[in-house]
Structure 1
């Protein structure tokens, strides 16, 4: 499954050597001018130090990761996107290496954090591309603060039907990994994101282990997983009343092996969106931006750069 890159032989070798297509997150960024920094933003009475990765120039494109994630979820896409955009990826509040204030991280709070980060970076309006929880936040932002959103990409936004068994599985697997962040437990949590589990690297697992081992992270993930509580989720659940408010042209990216929802849910969400089209990425799970990078980038380029309106 892993692709290889031919490396020309040196003067002492007669055959080319091969390297994996993906070596490490650093190798993905090695030839890209980029900046990792922190911005401090105000959120519900807290000052939240927020980790940000930026690269490229052009129209603003903001990338939003999923539950328990961090900005490295987009490491394989930064070079391809930075060719056309000023790309910003950041750790949402309570995630990655951003601050972990003790408060429920509901969708309205995560949206407020996104807007505060945009303000701190001087982004008045931009494209949003969100995966899983990030897609939920991106859609909510487009519905309730449409003046801040140009175009919208919802990437495997996750459990549109609010299935209790999906909520339970996500909650239990995430809490298990945070409470016992050893290799095996965290690896199972990361493998949940992939159809081709052989693509899960030690580096990805150890990054998650480092995040999950942060002081205070157990409380933070509990604050994130309130969205997997049906009673709390009810106020933010996907439904046509608020989704129908989204006026931004929308690309709905789904996969044929998404563990959080099938193509029937994609069609349901598509019917609620006023101005959208669906693109299905085959042979991928919950992280097509990693498993099917070329198609993921092509879909973004066609929709955002060539500005194809939904049919």
Structure 2
């Protein structure tokens, strides 16, 4: 496993890479980080060149003080693929990562070999959710007391990211996620809500996604029926519901999520060679 930084249009993207084979990009959600994708990277790197990265403003990546949008991240992903010396990639993303992956597949269909969307919606979150995200970002950016910031992160992640009993059963995993959230630069966190607020609803265009697609949804996702709606709208998309998991489905249930991705990618590979 190696770590490095890619210069993507003047923004440094912190990456971790393992394995060889077809390129598989692992994309985290808002307030997450590349570390949260490591269970998938470590297992899937047996068959793929896996690269997990921090989005702009997260962890080891830089950012534009003027802010950025979902469209900027779509362009970043296309540039990352080229910077890694590849013409195309498989994109697997959770939440924001899945939302951006769908948009890359629409704007640059030739660059997306297959798409795995884990709990990423086609449009902006509802206003109440945007306000909740923005409120947490403000506390994180403005509060000087580390204990207060940690308490806010715990409250936000508990209510927004996980199944009801996740923390009780996975205390160490939850603590590691909170550490990831608190590792982000305070100067950039206040800008992170600009991406979910910038989404233009792509629901009318979902039928244009032409690559093999897997929708991984969680049984405790707040938008419970959206996964099946996405799968019905995207041609020949497959749907897997992960039980006892919440919005951060790959954190709540890393083994089941990774197994679903591996099964899907194996079937895609067999279809192409068969």
- TM-score (normalizing by structure 2): 0.87
- Following superposition, the deviation at residue 51 of structure 1 comes to 0.4
- Following superposition, the deviation at residue 166 of structure 1 comes to 2.5
Contact 1:255 1:286 in 2 (8 A): yes
Contact 1:68 1:95 in 2 (8 A): yes
1:275 counterpart (198, 220, 236): 236
1:94-151 Cα offsets, whole Å, 9 max, x none, are: 2222111123321110011111111111121111001101111100000110000001
Match for residue 99 of structure 2? 136
State the SS of the aligned residue for 1:290.
Answer: helix
Distance 2:229 2:135 in 1: 27
Name structure 1 gaps, 5 residues minimum.
1-33
Distance 1:226 1:290 in 2: 24
Distance 2:110 2:122 in 1: 27
- Following superposition, the deviation at residue 226 of structure 1 comes to 2.4
- Following superposition, the deviation at residue 280 of structure 1 comes to 0.4
Distance 2:26 2:196 in 1: 22
Are 2:165 and 1:202 equivalent residues in the alignment? Answer: no
Alignment of 1:115-154 (within 5 A): 115-154=78-117
Contact 2:59 2:180 in 1 (8 A): no
Distance 2:47 2:188 in 1: 35
- Following superposition, the deviation at residue 161 of structure 1 comes to 7.5
1:217 counterpart (188, 208, 215): 188
Distance 1:304 1:139 in 2: 17
The 3 A distance-change label for structure 1 pair 104 and 301 is same
Bigger Rg over Cα:
1
Deviation above 6 Å: which 4+ runs of structure 1?
Answer: none
Match for residue 251 of structure 2? 290
Q: How many residues align?
A: 260
Contact 2:32 2:180 in 1 (8 A): no
RMSD over aligned Cα atoms: 2.0
Distance 1:103 1:63 in 2: 26
Distance 2:228 2:183 in 1: 37
Contact 1:156 1:258 in 2 (8 A): yes
Moved more, 141-150 or 72-81: 72-81
The 3 A distance-change label for structure 1 pair 201 and 292 is closer
The 3 A distance-change label for structure 1 pair 225 and 38 is same
More helix by share: 2
Name structure 2 gaps, 5 residues minimum.
none
Q: Does 1 or 2 have the higher relative contact order (CA < 8 Å, sep 6+)?
A: 2
- Following superposition, the deviation at residue 158 of structure 1 comes to 3.7
